[in-house]
Amino acid sequence: MPHEQVPPRAPADRGTARARPGRANRPVRRIVAAVAVVLGMLAAVVAVAPASAAGNPYQRGPDPTLASVAATRGPFATAQTSVPPGNGFNGGTIYYPTDRSLGTWGAVAIVPGYTARFADEEAWMGPWLASFGFVVIGVETNSRTDFDTARGAQLLAGLDYLTQKSPIRDRVDRTRLSVVGHSMGGGGALVAADRRPSLKAAVGLAPFKPSGSLATDRVPTMIMGGTRDDTVTPSYLDNLYATAPATTQRAYLQISGANHLFFTKANTLEMRILIPWLKTFVDNDTRYTRFLCPTLADSTGVSKYRSTCPFVPPSGAKVSGSSAFGSTAVGTPPTAPLISTSS
């Protein structure tokens, strides 16, 4: 087998240093080799990126931490626009991320409680949730004394307007919608979930649902209440939560010392739990489930937490967390961290 011939080494010249054949080219060869390695690594990253995106095209933002989910603002800049009355509800406000490079966003419709206005009690949630990567529509009701069924219908009307007629409809993924409400509006969110099972998530904040139980609820549903709520009492919510089908993914928590108006004031306790719920089921983002399963990652301010962990987001991929049906006592927590105290 022929061997490559290596040129003989030139004799050293004691007077003048001579470059050996090929030595001058060695730095160039090293640079070329280094560039080739870097390009290969970049090619590998590019090759992996589409697969990751294909696995979850709805994932938005950096990896979450306990601090980031409790922050008052997420990673995205936001803007807002007003909605005139009509289209089945009494107008309101839309909040949305301004970033257009990431495609469309999941959406949340929020409705207030009995006799209340969104602008007075829930408007603080709009830019907060939008900064975490959701389009939010705050719905004002046709009448301040509308009951849960009417508020549920107006939540759905708000989502229909948002996805079909609003000036930012092209920014919204109409297949990833959710609802949130407080008090009678919380009952409205549960009614909306019952009427439109294609919703990805529903959240009732101290929800009152005089129209009936959760027996036909199929939407992943979270209920929050307060231990000092004399309007929608813990025993009422215990009984309401128990009526949900065993197959419905759900969670229920009681906030220590919270009264009925706790949810109408900006607070990090509520949001650090609400955001992972919406991220899990609206964005299919399993990075956030560890804050909910197998129990709350931060139970400060929570006296009781029940869940049907492990949660299965829309992709059908089961995520970490052992089954935790029933009640989990989380001790006697200190006062919940608040931005402003509830009245």
Mean pLDDT value of segment 90-109: 97
State which amino acid sits at residue 222: M
Please work out, in degrees rounded to the nearest 5, the angle formed at the alpha carbon of residue 288 by the alpha carbons of 252 and 64.
130
pLDDT at 278: 98
Which residue would you say has higher pLDDT here, 161 or 29? 161
Mean pLDDT value of segment 43-69: 67
As a three-state string, the secondary structure of the chain is CCCCCCCCCCCCCCCCCCCCCCHHHHHHHHHHHHHHHHHHHHHHHHHHHHHHHHHCCCCCCCCCCHHHHCCCCCCCCEEEEEECCECCEECEEEEEECCCCCCCEEEEEEECCCCCCHHHHCCCHHHHHHCCCEEEEEECCCCCCCCHHHHHHHHHHHHHHHHHCCCCHHHEEEEEEEEEEECHHHHHHHHHHHHCCCCCEEEEECCCCCCCCCCCCCCCEEEEEECCCCCCCHHHHHHHHHCCCCCCCEEEEEECCCCCCHHHCCEHHHHHHHHHHHHHHCCCCHHHHHHCCCCCCCCCCEEEEEECCCCCCCCCCCCCCCCCCCEEECCCCCCCCECCCCC
pLDDT at 25: 52
| 105 vs 266: CA distance, rounded Å | 23
Please report which confidence band the pLDDT of residue 30 belongs to, taking 50, 70 and 90 as the band edges.
low
pLDDT at 296: 98
Least confident residue range of 65-69, 275-279, 328-332: 328-332
pLDDT at 313: 85
Is the link from the previous residue into 220 a cis peptide, with omega within 30 of 0? no
The residues that are catalytic are: 183, 230, 260
**Is residue 128 over pLDDT 60?**
yes
The share of the chain scoring above pLDDT 90, in percent, equals 74
pLDDT at 306: 97
Q: Assess contact for 153 and 147: CB atoms under 8 A.
A: no
305, β-bridge pairs: 253, 328
pLDDT at 343: 28
Please work out, in degrees rounded to the nearest 5, the angle formed at the alpha carbon of residue 320 by the alpha carbons of 314 and 326.
90
**Is residue 338 over pLDDT 70?**
no
As a three-state string, the secondary structure of 63-113 is CCCHHHHCCCCCCCCEEEEEECCECCEECEEEEEECCCCCCCEEEEEEECC
State which amino acid sits at residue 198: S
**Is residue 21 over pLDDT 60?**
no
Which residue would you say has higher pLDDT here, 280 or 23? 280
Mean pLDDT value of segment 33-42: 44
**Is residue 335 over pLDDT 80?**
no
pLDDT at 325: 31
| 89 vs 185: CA distance, rounded Å | 13
Please report which confidence band the pLDDT of residue 336 belongs to, taking 50, 70 and 90 as the band edges.
very low
| 248 vs 311: CA distance, rounded Å | 10
Please report which confidence band the pLDDT of residue 15 belongs to, taking 50, 70 and 90 as the band edges.
very low
pLDDT at 26: 54
Which residue would you say has higher pLDDT here, 23 or 247? 247
Q: Assess contact for 219 and 200: CB atoms under 8 A.
A: yes
Mean pLDDT value of segment 266-295: 97
Mean pLDDT value of segment 277-301: 97
Mean pLDDT value of segment 284-296: 96
pLDDT at 47: 33
255, β-bridge pairs: 226, 302
For the chain, the average pLDDT equals 83
Pair type for strands 105-111 and 134-139: parallel
In degrees and rounded to multiples of 5, residue 137 shows phi and psi of -115, 120
pLDDT at 29: 54
Q: What is the pLDDT of residues 191-233, one digit of tens each?
A: 999 999 999 999 999 999 999 999 999 999 999 999 999 999 9
